[in-house]
Amino acid sequence: MRLSILLAALVAANAALAGERAVTDDAGRAVTIPDRPERIVVMHEPLLGLPLMDLGVELVGSYGRTDDGEFVTAVDFMDTVLDTDLAKPKGIGPFGQIDLERLRALEPDLIIGTDLNIDKVEQLSTVAPVYLQNVSTGKAYGFSVEEDLAKVVGREDTFIKRKAAYLDRVAEVRKALPSDPAGQDYLAVFLTDQLNAVGETSGAIQALEDLGYSRLEPEHEGGAAGRGGSMMLVPLSVEAFGRLNPDLLVLMNSYMNDAREEAGTRAALDRIMPGWEKFLKPAKEDRILFLDSAKVTTPTVASAEHTLDAVEAWAKR
């Protein structure tokens, strides 16, 4: 008996010394990852990298950055969402062309990919263990990605503190609102060259719903896009949009566009739906909240807080 306890203790000590643990990722794969990974590479920066950096984790690499750490698309979310002095991660090759040698040169101890990276797992695993995290609408909600990743990298405590502070702020902002949002519905629209309903995986949605607003489900017209369930944005037809009358209309211009403030967003919607200010009910009754998509769309607590700030400023107008 004693011997078996001793053996069990020894085995446990061994596992602890090795500093590794076996986990099952969102794709159902068993992966052995370091207890507290130090050198992480992410395969999608806004959806996976930002939540980690929001927890204070420094990344060594990120798909979509150049070797100098510059972000290849229009917005560097690290600058717009986070107030951090973390170093910029390095790139692992141009988009569509992951360079395994560059990836290995970064000496990662964990690679985190999205559920859509499953076809790349075999090759990426030759460098370091790969953990796949669900980010698609329907599988992730609000900043749940940050909560999940906190467990993966052993930073649950940081997340709990972060969330508690956030919830205090939610209560504070709710008090500042002229009327109780409970029972009111909202529609969040993201403007590209068309109208899109914002998917559930973003800090903005988390904040709005935590305040008490409920989602107004635009009716899908049975398009395949509605059923895929894996996108950030669901196209919304102009006619359908014109008929909707949410208690709160949330508008944000695409982050590929520099004019993301109120005037720019109004102009962008005017191009898609000329004269909307004159006939759209929420516009006539001044029930529109303008958000900066570069700040609020990542699945992070920081994005949710940016949304709260915007709601508070709007309420105080």
What does each C-alpha distance from 232 to 59, 118, 190, 197, 302 come to in angstroms? Answer: 24, 18, 10, 9, 18
Q: What minimum distance in Å lies between the beta carbon of 218 and other proteins? A: 16
Instruction: Answer yes or no: are the C-beta atoms of 138 and 230 closer than 8 Å.
Output: yes
Residue nearer to other proteins on the CB measure, 124 or 153: 124
Query: Considering only residues 20, 76, 109, 116, which one is a binding residue for other proteins as defined by CB under 8 A?
Result: 116
Q: Which helix (H) or strand (E) holds 314?
A: helix 301-315
Structural tokens at position 168: 């205090």
154-183 residues in contact with other proteins (CB under 8 A) are none
| Contact call for residue 72 and other proteins (CB under 8 A) | yes
Query: Considering only residues 67, 219, 258, 261, which one is a binding residue for other proteins as defined by CB under 8 A?
Result: 67
Instruction: Answer yes or no: are the C-beta atoms of 289 and 198 closer than 8 Å.
Output: no
Distance CA 209, CA 155 (A): 25
| Contact call for residue 138 and other proteins (CB under 8 A) | no
Which part of the chain contacts other proteins (CB under 8 A), choosing from 12-20, 98-106, 164-172, 214-222?
A: 98-106
CA dihedral 25, 30, 34, 36 (to 10 degrees): 30
| Contact call for residue 237 and other proteins (CB under 8 A) | no
CB atoms near residue 159 (< 10 Å): 21
Residue nearer to other proteins on the CB measure, 155 or 293: 293
Distance CA 189, CA 248 (A): 11
Q: What minimum distance in Å lies between the beta carbon of 100 and other proteins? A: 5
Instruction: Answer yes or no: are the C-beta atoms of 39 and 106 closer than 8 Å.
Output: yes
CB atoms near residue 11 (< 10 Å): 10
Which part of the chain contacts other proteins (CB under 8 A), choosing from 32-40, 76-84, 91-99, 166-174?
A: 91-99
Query: Considering only residues 20, 76, 118, 273, which one is a binding residue for other proteins as defined by CB under 8 A?
Result: 118
Query: Considering only residues 9, 36, 95, 221, which one is a binding residue for other proteins as defined by CB under 8 A?
Result: 95
Residue nearer to other proteins on the CB measure, 104 or 151: 104
The binding track of 21-60 with respect to other proteins, each residue x by CB under 8 A or -, is ------x---------------------------------
| Contact call for residue 111 and other proteins (CB under 8 A) | no
Query: Considering only residues 10, 12, 15, 100, which one is a binding residue for other proteins as defined by CB under 8 A?
Result: 100
Partners of residue 248 on adjacent β-strands: 186
The count of residues in the chain is 317
Q: Which helix (H) or strand (E) holds 23?
A: strand 20-24
Partners of residue 112 on adjacent β-strands: 42, 131
Query: Considering only residues 19, 56, 94, 183, which one is a binding residue for other proteins as defined by CB under 8 A?
Result: 94
List residues near other proteins by CB under 8 A.
Answer: 27, 66-67, 72, 91, 93-102, 104-105, 116, 118-120, 122-123, 126, 136, 223-225, 228-233
